[in-house]
């Protein structure tokens, strides 16, 4: 997946897998699934905290996206329940899918502010590793800092195979293999959580990725 820093935002309520009525196997109603996604040009990024009184914008100009800087801490292995408690937000997990096996969970402490590495969301995070049938994948999650607003993702590196896609009325940032046949990664958000999924080789086709997302609660 291309380098990216993201602030997770979503309108609506409910986890991605609350219903399964779409052709893609995704949530059954608009409140069940991720919604609007906006890709923000990197030229709009300003590294540092947002000012208390920002300067007025010129007519037609888009507001900048302020991003903190920090150095990520190493992940700490623990149970998924303990990682969720330590992180302090709802962590999506696979429920009711017999092909899914939870392999491990890592808790990432909040990112301390420095001038070294940009990050769109310095909050604590949880990475969950699954085996899904013959596939292996990770789901890195952070809390949604702005519920009720569209998900904003800033692309820090160009990737011609990473683009917005609509499936069953929901929007996702999907990274595909060069032949466009398989899915390497998916980014989306719920009311409470921003998630970055990454599949290990041989990667997944979209129906398999959608089936996994449909069981996240």
Arithmetic mean of pLDDT over the chain: 74
**pTM score:** 0.69
Give the pLDDT score at 173.
86
Could you report the per-residue pLDDT of 1-23, keeping only the tens digit for each? 433 333 333 323 333 544 333 33
Give the pLDDT score at 192.
79
pLDDT over 60 (residue 161): yes
Could you report the per-residue pLDDT of 127-154, keeping only the tens digit for each? 999 999 999 999 999 887 777 676 666 6
Please report, for residues 68, 136, 159, 186, 202, the alpha-carbon distance to residue 24 in angstroms, rounded to integers and kept in the order given.
Answer: 36, 20, 25, 14, 21
Quote the percentage of the chain above a pLDDT of 70: 60
Where do the domains of the chain lie? 4-50+61-214
Q: Is the dihedral of CA 54, 35, 11, 109 positive or negative?
A: negative
Could you report the per-residue pLDDT of 28-79, keeping only the tens digit for each? 333 344 545 556 555 555 555 667 777 777 777 666 665 555 555 688 999 9
């Amino acid at each position: 997946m291309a380098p990216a820093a993201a602030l997770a935002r979503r309108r609506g309520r409910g986890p991605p897998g609350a219903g399964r009525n779409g052709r893609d196997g995704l949530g059954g109603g608009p409140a069940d699934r991720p919604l609007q996604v906006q890709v923000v040009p990197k030229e709009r990024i300003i590294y540092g905290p947002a000012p208390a009184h920002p300067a007025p914008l010129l007519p037609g100009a888009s507001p900048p996206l302020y991003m903190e800087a920090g150095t990520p801490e190493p992940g700490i292995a623990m149970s998924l329940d303990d990682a969720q408690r330590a992180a302090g937000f709802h962590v999506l997990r696979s429920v009711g899918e017999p092909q899914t096996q939870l392999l491990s969970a890592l808790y990432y402490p909040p990112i301390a502010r420095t001038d070294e590495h940009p990050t769109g969301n310095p909050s604590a995070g949880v990475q969950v590793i699954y085996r899904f049938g013959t596939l292996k994948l990770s789901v890195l999650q952070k809390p949604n800092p702005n519920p009720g607003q569209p998900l904003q993702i800033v692309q820090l590196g160009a990737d011609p195979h990473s683009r917005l896609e609509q499936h069953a009325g929901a929007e996702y940032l999907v990274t595909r293999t060069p032949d466009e046949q398989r899915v390497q990664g998916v980014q989306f958000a719920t009311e409470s959580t921003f998630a970055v999924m990454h599949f290990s080789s041989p990667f997944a086709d979209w129906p398999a990725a959608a089936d996994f997302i449909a069981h996240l609660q």
